[in-house]
Amino acid sequence: MRMLTEVDRITHLEPLIAAGWAVDSDRDAIKKTYQFKNFIDAFGFMTRSAIWAEKWNHHPEWFNVYKTVSVTLSTHDVGGLSELDIKLAQKMDALAG
């Protein structure tokens, strides 16, 4: 696994930013906050996301309060953003509906 190149960042981060993701100003990571109808929907999203995260061995940093789930993605093994972060962000957006 390798860090994203500048070309990768332009190609892959721009669509994610348009979809509500933001580049973390404190480190090489992306973050997004999802809002759901209720706690059950938020927890269901986290459960579905966890299955993919485990399958890909790439686990998010996340925080849940009631119907809100805040996610931060970064690949610790490479010290910043990698293709796995892009892949998981896209999957999480799809799972959130």
Q: With respect to CATH, is domain 6-96 assigned 3.30.1360.20? A: yes
Domain ranges of the chain: 6-96
Q: For residue range 36-68, what is the model confidence (pLDDT) as tens digits?
A: 999 999 999 999 999 999 999 999 999 999 999
Contacts of 23 (CB under 8 A, 6+ apart): 13, 17, 29, 30
Q: For residue range 75-86, what is the model confidence (pLDDT) as tens digits?
A: 999 999 999 999
Residue 3: exposure state from Cβ atoms within 10 A (0-12, 13-18, ≥19): middle
